[in-house]
Amino acid sequence: MGYLVDTNVISEPETKHPNANVLAWLARVDFGELYISALTVGEIKKGVVKLEAGTRKAHIQNWLEELRKKFAGRILSLSETTFIEWGKMVGKFEQKGIVRPPYDSLLEATALEHDLILVTRNVKNFQDSSVTILNPWEKDKGGT
């Protein structure tokens, strides 16, 4: 079993008051089963660029570089196959009148392509998904 971890999950330990359920889930799962998207790397980098120069910016930049090292070989790029999955999936949703945010739908397509469980707090953005969604913030749904 593998997990595609959304930015909100992988960055939770870096927040001022991290959620205990998320920390417990991250501690419990085999780290080798965790994957992140190149989108997540870009999203974190965008946040770094927007920060004022200083200690916090340096800390987050260093954390991002460590994260990239830890996930070497498990950072999933957006490939032609990803976009084919995305096009099929989004087309079917739009036929039903369902609109997905582009970032979320690309994560969803990546999870589909690689047969991974998508781990995120943004469950409402993935209604009617054929991807298994796990929310580690919810005590009985993945958290402790």
The CATH number that domain 3-139 falls under is 3.40.50.1010
Phi, psi of 34 (to 5 degrees): -95, 135
pLDDT in tens, 89-102: 999 999 999 988 89
Q: Whats the size of the chain, residue-wise? A: 144
Which amino acid type is present at position 118?
L
- Position 55 scores a pLDDT of 93
> Per-residue confidence at 108, pLDDT binned at 50, 70, 90?
very high
Q: What is the mean pLDDT of residues 64-76?
A: 97
Q: Mean pLDDT across the chain, nearest whole number?
A: 93
Q: What is the mean pLDDT of residues 94-118?
A: 94
Domain residues of the chain, as ranges?
Answer: 3-139
Q: What's the half-sphere exposure (Cβ side, CA atoms, 13 Å) at 9?
A: 29
pLDDT in tens, 12-61: 999 999 999 999 999 999 999 999 999 999 999 999 999 999 999 999 99
- Position 1 scores a pLDDT of 86
Asked if 1 and 41 count as a contact pair (C-beta separation under 8 A), the reply is no
Asked if 71 and 37 count as a contact pair (C-beta separation under 8 A), the reply is no
Higher pLDDT: 139 or 79? It is 79
- Position 143 scores a pLDDT of 59
> Per-residue confidence at 141, pLDDT binned at 50, 70, 90?
low
What's the rounded Cα separation, in Å, for the pair 96 and 86?
15
- Position 78 scores a pLDDT of 96
Beta bridge partners of 133: 118
Q: How would you classify residue 97: left for phi > 0, otherwise alpha for psi between -120 and 50, otherwise beta? A: left
| DSSP-assigned letter for residue 123 | G
pLDDT at 128 over 90: no
- Position 93 scores a pLDDT of 93
